[in-house]
Amino acid sequence: MATMDTPPSPPRPHGTGPPSRGVRDARLRARSGILALGGRLTWVAGLVLAVSSFTSWYSGRSVEGPTLSVTGWNSGTLGKLVFLIGVAVVCLALLQRFGLAFPAAAPASLIAIALGALATVFVLIRLISVPASVAGTSGRSVGIWISLVAAIAVIGAGLLHAGEEL
C-alpha cells in the first residue's frame, strides 16, 4: 500500500496566529503599568500638596527691615486645610492600594477629583487674598505656586484614574 504524501502546508505569515503566552503576559503587564499611572500620580500629587503647606507662600521685607517669610501653615486656616486635604489624598491612595473597594456611587477617582478641586479653590483664595497680617510687607512666594500646581495635579490624577477605571 502506497503512502499518500501530503503537500506541506504553506507557511503562515508572521503575526497572523495568536500570540504566545509569554507575549500576552508581557503585554498585560505593560498595559497595567502604563494605566496604573493615575494611582501613582494621585499619591505623589497628594504628598506634594501636603508638603507644600510648609513651604514659603509669602515673602518680602518687613517694616523693621529683615526678610519676612510666611509658610502656608502659618497663613491661616486655609493653609492648614490644604495640608489636611493633601494627607487625605495620600490616605485615599493608600487605602485603594491595600485593597479597599470604594462603592460605585463614589469611586476613589471621584473623591480625588473633589479633594483636588477643593484644594485648588483654597489655594486660589490664598493667592488672591493675602492675609492681613502680611498684606503690606510681602508678596507671593514659590510655595503657593507649588501648592496650586499640586492641587491641579490631584485633579488631573483623579481624571486619569477615572479613565483607567472605564
- Across the 166 residues of the chain, what is the mean pLDDT of every consecutive 10-residue run? 63 61 56 64 94 91 77 91 96 87 86 96 93 74 95 94 80
CA 26 to chain centre: 26
**Would you report the helix, strand and coil content of the chain in percent, each value rounded to 5?**
60, 10, 30
pLDDT at 30: 46
What does the radius of gyration of the chain's CA atoms come to, in whole angstroms? 26
Residue 4 C-alpha cell reads as 499518500
d(CA 62, CA 37): 44
Q: Where are the domains of the chain?
A: 46-165
User: Rounded to the nearest 10 degrees, what angle do helices 108-128 and 142-165 cross at?
Assistant: 160
Q: So what's the pLDDT on residue 8?
A: 67
pTM here is 0.74
CA separation for the pair 22, 34 (Å, rounded): 18
Confidence (pLDDT) at 134: 73
Type of residue at 10: P
**Could you give the 3-state DSSP secondary structure of residue 78?**
helix
Instruction: Return the pLDDT at 70.
Output: 86
Task: Identify the pLDDT of residue 31.
Answer: 46
- The amino acid at residue 113 is I
